[in-house]
Amino acid sequence: MKAWLQSYCGYFTVVLFLPLLLAVGALCSRQSAFSFSWELPLALLLLFGISAGWCYYKRRAPLPSVRSLWLLTVLAIVYDCCCNIGAFNAPGQLPISIFLTAGVLCLLWALLRYAALLLWLPFLFFQIVQFASYNQYGTRINSLVLAETLEASADELAAYLTGNNLLYLTAAIIGLGLLSFAQVRILRGVRERMPLINVGLLYCFISVMLGAFVPSNHRSGDYYWPVVAGAELGQAAYEAVCHNQATVELVEQLESPTQQPSSINTLKGGEGVVLIVHVGESVRADRMSLNGYEKDTTPWLRQQKQVISFTDCISAAYDTCQAQIAILTDARRDIHETAPEMLARTGSVLDLFRANGFDIYSFFGRRAGQKLKYDRVIRLLTQCSKARFNAPGSPWTAIPQMADVLRNTQKGDNLVFFINNEGSHTPFYHYDRKNPPFTPSVHTFENPSSLALEVNNAYDNTVHYTDEYVRRVCHLLQGRPFIYIYVSDHGEYLGHDGIWGRAALGENELSYHETDGSRVGMFILTSPDFESVHPHFTQAVSQLRSHAAMKVGHEHIFHTLLGLFDIQTPYYNPALDLCSSQAEPYTGPSPAPVAPAPPSGEL
């Protein structure tokens, strides 16, 4: 009995040390306690009483040695300081998470022994990656980040796996190896499970009770690291997989719009009209000189008298797949929408053009050659294509492919060229790097906030590249009536919102549509003889010009394409047709009104 009590006394010299410091700090700062549920602490205390009573009944040591407890506390402090991104966000946050970390260490080891490392070490590695992600890009790992990472190409990953980042990850792995070795040495010294269960339950109880010192308006999941962080990471991974699968299944379940009767009232065949539908990649409207940006990123387009630029176009979603669905189908928003009127009723608009006399040819970048979500979705949406091409290397290599199509078809054939290539997607290296228009530039995402000017210059170079790409396509089509419709799928985070990279959002808790990344480039360009093919085209182009200042969205594209060629189908909605006098503006979520473009190199 005496030894049993001495063990407890030694133990409390450890577990009361940091709580007393916290209590003093709380009193000094006059923080008020908040009311919280007592079920969890009472349950922990009950379990602790049962396990301690069992030890007393069996005359076993109820707790590890004092030395082991001090070592466990020190180890928990190291883990929190190195891996817990929110450890120092608020007063008292670190002690709460330290006790919970120590409790989790004890309980995992008592239940799983060495197998606990298979759970603990990968979790810690992700937390270190999250630390780096937050410090460099202003974002945490969440379901959006994981969903995009699962679909990332080798080029995208290479933009982040730079030399310094790889060195950082290597050091993290070595550090985790040393810490896990220390953890095993400490916990292996406690041969029986019950002392570890006892101390684990008591540590968790103390952590929960310390939350009583936290005001209710300050309480967050960060206080209860690693339990909450582990649960959030698991939930994020589950949501990422479900999200990607749901995107594919949505398109697979859509019926083709050709299941309903349709007709075209403008073309009878033999006119040789070429419609180019170019879904660009990651081009922001505010980075096009066509829209007033001070750096001349679109010199060719800016000089074209026939160009119509929509300066306030809002993308439907943050990723390519959802944007493609909103552009090519009659969906009004992304796949997370629950309102029936916002969801897609039918498949790709390209099917209607195929059914009404057009031959469809699709031109992709390298990404569509991968077996990923993007490839499955875009192939379903373009399955009516007579032929599909992938551009090896630079997207410019698609120009000879288009030339071959024009050579092998009749001049009177009506054609649709559907284009989707890398453009301004991360990494920002699709431009002439031997003669970049804007320097200095870097296309890697290694600590971009410290290289803001260089990264932004690289991005602007890719927009300049897109301008040249459009020029080459239009030059190829000289002598044929054509209309070129360009819209970007989404924007890119370039530090203006405190965020860098793709898909994720930072600590400011902005939604995607509150950021500058959701306002994307959109323009329409016609050849001089396009309007002369049919009187309807003159009227349609005139309406397009009149709506250039309107706030529009991806949801307008499907119906505008139908209205442009006067294709009659039950799926047509004149309120979303920018070629119609009945067109209504986009009313969904969007960022603040358009502001002047930032000076060169400033964020």
Residue 399: per-residue pLDDT: 92
Residue 469, CA distances (Å) to 121, 280, 419 in order: 47, 11, 11
Instruction: Please count the structural domains in the chain.
Output: 2
> Over the chain, what is the mean pLDDT?
81
351 and 217 in a single domain? The answer is no
Q: Is 459 a member of any domain? A: yes
60 and 185 in a single domain? The answer is yes
Q: Tell me: pLDDT of 67 over 50.
A: yes
Q: Is 117 a member of any domain? A: yes
Q: Tell me: pLDDT of 518 over 70.
A: yes
Domain-ending residue, one of 240, 261, 287: 240
Instruction: Answer whether 318's CB lies under 8 Å from 144's CB.
Output: yes
Residue 32: per-residue pLDDT: 38
Q: Is 174 a member of any domain? A: yes
pLDDT in tens, 78-103: 988 888 887 777 767 888 888 889 88
Q: Is 515 a member of any domain? A: yes
Residue 571: per-residue pLDDT: 96
Strand partners for 522: 487
Q: Is 17 a member of any domain? A: no
More confident site: 546 or 81: 546
pLDDT in tens, 322-367: 899 999 999 988 777 778 778 889 999 999 999 999 999 999 876 5
More confident site: 392 or 359: 359
227 and 89 in a single domain? The answer is yes
Q: Tell me: pLDDT of 543 over 70.
A: yes
Residue 594: per-residue pLDDT: 63
Tell me the mean pLDDT in the region 494-513: 66
C-alpha to C-alpha distance for 518 and 143, rounded to whole angstroms: 19
Q: Tell me: pLDDT of 198 over 70.
A: yes
Q: Tell me: pLDDT of 274 over 60.
A: yes
Closest residue by Cα to residue 298 from 519, 466, 525: 466
C-alpha to C-alpha distance for 597 and 603, rounded to whole angstroms: 10
H or E, element range at 263: strand 263-264
Q: Tell me: pLDDT of 21 over 80.
A: no
Instruction: Answer whether 488's CB lies under 8 Å from 281's CB.
Output: yes
Residue 31: per-residue pLDDT: 40
278 and 180 in a single domain? The answer is no
C-alpha to C-alpha distance for 520 and 312, rounded to whole angstroms: 7
More confident site: 38 or 515: 515
Q: Tell me: pLDDT of 12 over 70.
A: no
Q: Is 586 a member of any domain? A: no
Q: Tell me which residue range forms the domain holding 297.
A: 270-576
pLDDT in tens, 415-446: 999 999 888 887 788 888 888 999 998 877 77
315 and 417 in a single domain? The answer is yes
Residue 5: per-residue pLDDT: 47
280 and 348 in a single domain? The answer is yes
Q: Is 589 a member of any domain? A: no
More confident site: 595 or 366: 366
pLDDT band at residue 482 using 50, 70 and 90 as cut-offs: very high
Tell me the mean pLDDT in the region 522-537: 95
Q: Tell me: pLDDT of 497 over 60.
A: yes
Q: Is 282 a member of any domain? A: yes
The packing angle between helices 17-28 and 2-15, to 10°, is 40
Residue 480, CA distances (Å) to 66, 271, 475, 526 in order: 86, 9, 10, 11
191 and 330 in a single domain? The answer is no
Tell me the mean pLDDT in the region 442-465: 86
Tell me the mean pLDDT in the region 505-523: 78
222 and 292 in a single domain? The answer is no
Residue 602: per-residue pLDDT: 43
Residue 4: per-residue pLDDT: 47
179 and 127 in a single domain? The answer is yes
CATH of the domain at 277: 3.40.720.10
Residue 577: per-residue pLDDT: 97
Q: List helix spans (H) across 151-213.
A: 154-160, 163-188, 193-210
Ranked by mean pLDDT, the top range of 223-237, 343-357, 382-396, 506-520 is 343-357
For residues 257-279, one letter each, b for 16 or more C-beta atoms within 10 angstroms of the residue's C-beta and e for the rest, the string is bbeeebebebbeeebbbbbbbbb
Instruction: Answer whether 18's CB lies under 8 Å from 98's CB.
Output: yes
225 and 318 in a single domain? The answer is no
235 and 274 in a single domain? The answer is no
pLDDT in tens, 144-172: 666 566 566 666 666 666 677 778 788 88
More confident site: 464 or 59: 464
173 and 285 in a single domain? The answer is no
Domain-ending residue, one of 202, 220, 240: 240
Residue 257: per-residue pLDDT: 95
